Structure 1
């Protein structure tokens, strides 16, 4: 049975200024995965490097859609904006909704 695939950026990267940075949207989703591991098991999770092209993401949803996090739906299509992704995680996998 096909499962949804969630693409996340690796933990952090070092910028040209020497500082370390993280993706706040990916960290928010990583927090959900850590708090609800039983729900995380319902999907394939792939962590990809920050550098572009992000080959695995390109292969799944195309060259122009490399934003992460991205949820590729088992039946086709994807979401890669934070609000739509969180809504899909709630509706499709039972994660709680974010409060305002």
Structure 2
């Protein structure tokens, strides 16, 4: 059976003003670290910050490059944080965020 694919940004990026991280990606990365048995159900692809993010474009289209994103093998995807966390819970058993 094909796995859902999670696209997540690489750890951080640096520019002239400093080093930055994506808070949504860090939240999802934390879930993967805390629940590795659940994360094993996913195909996790780390993508660079710079666009175009080729693997994401190939899977979701050029207009849907924001991360994190979760693509479903049967078609469709989610790429907003609330929808992604809900899908991780419903499809893979991750706990629910408590605001």
TM normalised by structure 2 equals: 0.98
Taking the aligned partners of 1:44 and 1:86, their CA distance within structure 2 comes to 16
Taking the aligned partners of 2:4 and 2:73, their CA distance within structure 1 comes to 5
Deviations 1:37-95 (A, max 9, x none): 00000010000000000000000000000000000011100000000000000000000
Taking the aligned partners of 1:16 and 1:46, their CA distance within structure 2 comes to 27
- Deviating above 6 A after TM superposition, structure 1's stretches of 4 or more consecutive aligned residues are none
Unmatched segments (≥5 aa) in structure 2: none
Unmatched segments (≥5 aa) in structure 1: none
| CA shift for structure 1 position 2 | 1.0
What is the number of residues matched between the two proteins?
A: 99
1:92 alignment counterpart = 91
Name the structure where strand makes up a greater proportion of residues. 2
2:38 alignment counterpart = 39
Structural RMSD (CA): 0.6
**Secondary structure of the corresponding residue to residue 96 of structure 2:** coil
